[in-house]
Amino acid sequence: QADLALYAAKDAGRNRLAVYSHPLGEAAEHRLQLEHELRRALDLREFTLHYQAQVDDQGRPQVMEALLRWHSPTRGLVLPGEFIPVLEESGMIIEATRWVFREACRQARRWAGQGHALRIAVNLSPLDFRQADLAGSLLAILEEERPPTGSLELEITETALLDAGDDVQQTLARLKAAGMPLLLDDFGTGHASLAYLQQFPFDGIKIDRQFVAGLPESEHSVALVRGILTMARHLGLHVVAEGVSNERQAAFLRLNGCPSLQGYHYCRPQPAEDLERIWIRESSSSLQPWGH
């Protein structure tokens, strides 16, 4: 009863801290406060998307990854590392994912309207797979927003698949059948990367940036990245290298046949309008190599 009253007070937006008889630890209070602000942020639409290009071996953008940003009135620009875990633990991630997906659909339509043939990659959280009908909810949004066919893809981290049952298989199959390629994100950092490739219908992998970081000096990184590229080629999988941050890494990856590169070296995550300004400045409907 007392707990319910506390939560009611919280929902009413009163000063919770005053009604706790046992003060929470500082960390827990910080957490609750953040959760409360995030709830407001979802309602007040304080979230935006930034986009980061994945470029081909000529530096031409092919895919834009949508990355969530929170513009907090008090905290300023907040990055996902700080708030995604809170969205996940509170269950708000499901609503956030739907918002991201809808916004990505709209952006795909806008860019197609401007003559840019780009796909948008949306990140899914492991927690998204806990809801009853993830595929149904995304397909409903697709139906409403009607982005151009083939203009979306999905990035899924290995942790999403940890306790995967038949329902995850089915969810992935439905999403893929709806025309969205599936990429295994942060490849190589999970517990069973290779098993997942065997088990699930992935179209590509994103080599985690920890492997790219050591290129080309570290013999270990070189061997691992070459191995991954060879394996992917044999399996017919697309490969994106994450976190490419200098030309030497890029050169190594191109030389070893990595079809797609992403990282600060090519493009920082930024708002759609800033990307459009670059395209307009470079006056093209066909896309030009990325400036540094």
* 20 interface partner picked from ligand C2E, Mg ion, none, CB below 5 to 8 A per type: none
* Nearer to ligand C2E among residue 154 and residue 229 (C-beta): 154
What value, to the nearest 5°, has the Cα angle with vertex 281 and ends 278 and 285?
Answer: 85
Cα–Cα distance, 251 to 248 (Å, whole number): 5
Selected binder of Mg ion within 37, 103, 158, 186 (CB under 5 A): 186
113: nearest Cα among 266, 229, 1, 272: 272
* 243 interface partner picked from ligand C2E, Mg ion, none, CB below 5 to 8 A per type: ligand C2E
* Nearer to ligand C2E among residue 72 and residue 123 (C-beta): 123
Choices 15-23, 55-63, 127-135, 185-193 (CB under 5 A): range interacting with Mg ion: 185-193
Preceding amide of 181 cis, omega within 30: no
* 100 interface partner picked from ligand C2E, Mg ion, none, CB below 5 to 8 A per type: ligand C2E
* Nearer to ligand C2E among residue 100 and residue 182 (C-beta): 100
258: nearest Cα among 207, 200, 196, 202: 207
Selected binder of Mg ion within 185, 228, 258, 259 (CB under 5 A): 185
Phi, psi of 270 (to 5 degrees): -155, 165
* Nearer to ligand C2E among residue 8 and residue 79 (C-beta): 79
Selected binder of Mg ion within 103, 153, 155, 158 (CB under 5 A): 155
Q: How far is the CB of 240 from Mg ion (least distance, A)?
A: 9
Exposure letters 46-66 (e unless 16+ CB within 10 A, then b): bbebbbbbbbeeebebbbbbb
227-230: long-range contacts, CB 8 A cutoff, minimum separation 24: 228/187, 228/188, 229/256, 229/257, 229/258
Q: How far is the CB of 241 from Mg ion (least distance, A)?
A: 10
Q: How far apart are the first and last CA of the chain?
A: 59
Q: How far is the CB of 4 from ligand C2E (least distance, A)?
A: 31
* 263 interface partner picked from Mg ion, ligand C2E, none, CB below 5 to 8 A per type: ligand C2E
* 80 interface partner picked from ligand C2E, Mg ion, none, CB below 5 to 8 A per type: ligand C2E
Phi, psi of 55 (to 5 degrees): -110, 155
Asked whether the beta carbons of 185 and 123 are under 8 A apart, the reply is yes
* Nearer to ligand C2E among residue 267 and residue 287 (C-beta): 267
Residues ≥6 apart with Cβ < 8 Å to 240: 54, 63, 183, 204, 205, 206, 207, 259, 260, 261, 262
> Contact positions toward ligand C2E, by CB under 6 A?
52, 66-68, 79-81, 84, 97, 100, 123-125, 155, 185-186, 209, 242-245, 263-264, 269
* Nearer to ligand C2E among residue 68 and residue 184 (C-beta): 68
Cα–Cα distance, 167 to 169 (Å, whole number): 5
Is 123 among the residues that bind Mg ion (CB under 5 A)?
A: yes
Q: How far is the CB of 79 from ligand C2E (least distance, A)?
A: 4
Cα–Cα distance, 264 to 283 (Å, whole number): 23
Contact footprint for Mg ion (CB under 5 A): 123, 155, 185-186, 242
